[in-house]
Structure 1
Amino acid sequence: MNSILKTLKFYGWRIVTAGAIIQCLHSGLLFSAFGSYSVLLQREFGWTATTLSIAFAMTRAESGLLGPIQGWILDRLGPRLVMLLGTTILGIGFLLFATMNGLSQFFIYYFLMSLGASLSGFFSITISLVNWFQRYRSRALALAGTGGALGGLSIPLVVFFLEQFGWRATAFSSGIIILLIGIPLCNIIRHRPSESGQFPDGINPDELPKNDTYQPPEGLTTVDFTLKQAFKTRAFWTISLGHGSALLIVGAIMLHLPLHLTSQDVGMSLQEASFIVGAIPAMQIGGHLLGGYLGDKTNKRLIAICCMIGHTIGLLLLTFAMHPIMIWIFAISHGISWGARGPLMQSWRADYFGTKHFGTIMGFSSLIIMLGMVIGPLIAGISADITGSYKAGFLILTLAAGFGTLFFLLSTPPKKPINT
């Protein structure tokens, strides 16, 4: 009982809570909301799905290209200062976005918002958590990730404000909320437990009982790989390619699902579509909790393979939906798969490559991963503009994402570097 109370008092859980709230704000006000903004922007300015896809793809490319630099800085300076800068940029970006009147301003302001979210969000929070946790690493990342899913649940509310008060007032209010809430939360984030005289998970290795039953996960390394050493392993490339394959679907759905559901093919209203869009993060929460628990106890590689199958089946159902129930099954399958797989990607990398250079390794992985977030929305958008339907684009993405299953199957633990 005392050990449980000691674990719950561990400062790392405060970081989890702060990280969850920050990701909730980013998801609810920006990432999950952008598809709904797109519907209104398309109506007001007449922009095509391809134009909106290019904007989305550019910001995802920015996030990926920023990754190596951000990771290097995070490994050396820690996440708190980086997140404070990013939160300020994100808040100001929203305020500027509310004044936007043309395509060039749209690209510039949306780029600023994405830059701020990249610096202050998932990547920086992950760097902190993989250092503060080992035994409970998957659970910590999953719990922090539920914030993003909870933010997605707010989409019907965001749509209500968009339709009642307009996208400008909603964007301006979002900027104020980000600045007032985000900055204090960033001050809670810390880099490594050793800097505060603590240990990962709040457990001093010298005080472990003799009958400790902890079983390390597959491939848990006892050394810290450098970037050069990680590059030489098959696992670095196959995990990255598998992750990127999953994001082909995730990226396309984030942007185009509201547009698809409100198109002539499906014929839903924006409010009706918002409930489908909101169902995905609801399922994500369950996936996060399931994946986080299983990820600390079972084979992460097997879980990731099952999730890729869920992504693929879900998008097939959406592509050929002949009844609303098929769309709802898609939302369930896609949401659970996304939720369960998401936190495992980073926990898995930390298990294989260690934490000392994790930011740099994860940053360079993002150069590969971003291709999914860039290419997926573009394929869906261009297909919709050319054919008048999302079916062809979604089918291409389904087939491409199927390769992710093979990549994860090949992601066996790397051998220890020869010079260690």
Structure 2
Amino acid sequence: MGKRKLFYGWWIVAAGVLIMSIPYPLITTNWGLYVKPVTKSMGFSRSEFGFISTIIYGVTVFLSPYLGKWLAQKNTQLIQAVSIVGLATSYASFSLGQNIIHFYISAVFMGVFSIGAIALPISIVLTNWFVKKRGLALSIALAGSGVGGAIISPIMTRVIQNYGWRISYLIFGAAMLIIALPMVLVMKKSPEEMGLKAYGADEAVSVVEKAAKPKVEYNLTLKEARKNNFFWIYLFGIFALSFVSFGSLSQFAAFVADHHGAAFAASILSIFLIIVTLGKISLGWIYDKFGTKIGTLYICIVFALSFVCMLYPNSKPLMYITAILYGLGICTGTVCPPVITSSMFGTKYYGEIYGYVNLSVYLGAAISVPALAAIYDKTGSYQSAWLLCIVLTFLSLISLLYSDLKSMAMKRN
């Protein structure tokens, strides 16, 4: 017998890793490296600069429901390719900014193109390709942001220091095109397009046929979901978790640099991003092995502990512990929404429902980035911001567990 051919879905996972490795960290994790040099050079306050992220995420909020539906129903590859080109061009355009209005205009276009370029199409496509090991497949693909961010962090720091932040925007805008765009060719929308079945589909059918009471996948339409209170509580939980994730991430590099300098901040950021990679993969495994309730409980507690450590920023050894805990906890922002959504609502109407989930993700991001920056501008410290993050993490945990329990109860009925 010949060697068994590698399931094509794993090639899509690999393509997802590369797509996530450049665009995602450039507009989230590594964006914080621009805070100090840009604000110092241009005379902006941190809250003014933070409003760039608000615009990006705010545009995403309005377009996510439509993009989720379009990506699910139309030519996913074409939409993603156009979005990557637009995102790279918009990112590079920051190099031309002469005042804050120019930055805000570039941010609008970045917001428009970011939705269809990165995580949303990846999560929709991989949900189609995997029944078994879906959590692991999604988490591996999304873990590309950690790998890419860890590599980019020291390079970007040197580029900014040696050549300036304007050149940095041009270099990494070009990197988006060179690395991410070719990967779109691999991102086939569904296994049926290639005459294949989703990974684990045959095993699922076998289990159903053998069961005394056949189990049918629970699929809730968007219309049905909106009639249930737990859907809105779930969206609040995702909003709160995203508020914490995106808001803290936008300030993390600046927070460490304030206390220990840019070089130490870059090294902490690299450690954090390596842990992010391991954390995303392990969280996907935990979700597959133990279910969404145990996985969410674990990750939210770890995330809250990372902010407890941030309340004591002057200790360098504690910053290393923070990098580990925060690297594990920040996975909530990318892994939790797609995995929990597919588990709670099924895959048939996933694209439409996830458009609303994505709206909640970026609404939290849009509000949080300037909110945490404003707290710093007003108090000169991130202490109050980290306390707020602890409270919201636990509120999110309660909301997500409640929604999960209500969803399970509906499935049994």
State whether TM-score is above 0.5.
yes
Within the alignment, does 1:125 sit opposite 2:117 as a pair? no
Cα pair distance change 1:191/1:401, threshold 3 Å: same
Q: 1:258 aligns with which of 253, 256, 273?
A: 253
The residue that corresponds to 1:21 in the other structure is 18
Q: Within 5 A, what are the aligned runs for 1:109-148?
A: 109-148=106-145
Q: 2:243 aligns with which of 231, 239, 248?
A: 248
Q: Is the 8 A contact 2:18 2:179 kept in 1?
A: no
- Alpha-carbon separation, structure 1, partners of 2:344 and 2:257: 43
Give CA-to-partner distance per residue, 1:75-102, whole Å, 9 cap, x none: 2114211101101101211332222211
The residue that corresponds to 1:406 in the other structure is 398
Within the alignment, does 1:369 sit opposite 2:361 as a pair? yes
Cα pair distance change 1:197/1:205, threshold 3 Å: farther
Task: Name the SS for the 1:134 alignment partner.
Answer: coil
Cα pair distance change 1:211/1:222, threshold 3 Å: closer
RMSD: 2.7
Within the alignment, does 1:330 sit opposite 2:322 as a pair? yes
The residue that corresponds to 2:291 in the other structure is 299
Structure 1 residue 29: Cα displacement? 3.2
Q: Within 5 A, what are the aligned runs for 1:11-410?
A: 11-154=8-151, 155-201=153-199, 203-204=201-202, 222-263=217-258, 266=259, 268-339=260-331, 342-410=334-402
Task: Name the SS for the 1:320 alignment partner.
Answer: coil
Indicate the percent of aligned positions where both proteins have the same amino acid: 21
Counting helix residues as a fraction of each chain, which structure ranks higher? 2
Structure 1 residue 372: Cα displacement? 2.2
Structure 1 residue 400: Cα displacement? 2.4
Structure 1 residue 406: Cα displacement? 1.0
Cα pair distance change 1:376/1:320, threshold 3 Å: farther
Give CA-to-partner distance per residue, 1:267-286, whole Å, 9 cap, x none: x2212111122222211112
Task: Name the SS for the 1:33 alignment partner.
Answer: helix
Gapped runs of 5+ residues in structure 2?
none
Q: Is the 8 A contact 2:81 2:117 kept in 1?
A: yes
Q: Is the 8 A contact 2:86 2:113 kept in 1?
A: yes
Structure 1 residue 235: Cα displacement? 4.1
- Alpha-carbon separation, structure 1, partners of 2:122 and 2:51: 27
Cα pair distance change 1:130/1:78, threshold 3 Å: farther
Q: Is the 8 A contact 2:287 2:294 kept in 1?
A: no
Q: Is the 8 A contact 1:319 1:391 kept in 2?
A: yes
Structure 1 residue 53: Cα displacement? 1.7
- Alpha-carbon separation, structure 2, partners of 1:212 and 1:97: 59
Q: Is the 8 A contact 1:29 1:158 kept in 2?
A: no
Q: Is the 8 A contact 1:75 1:356 kept in 2?
A: no
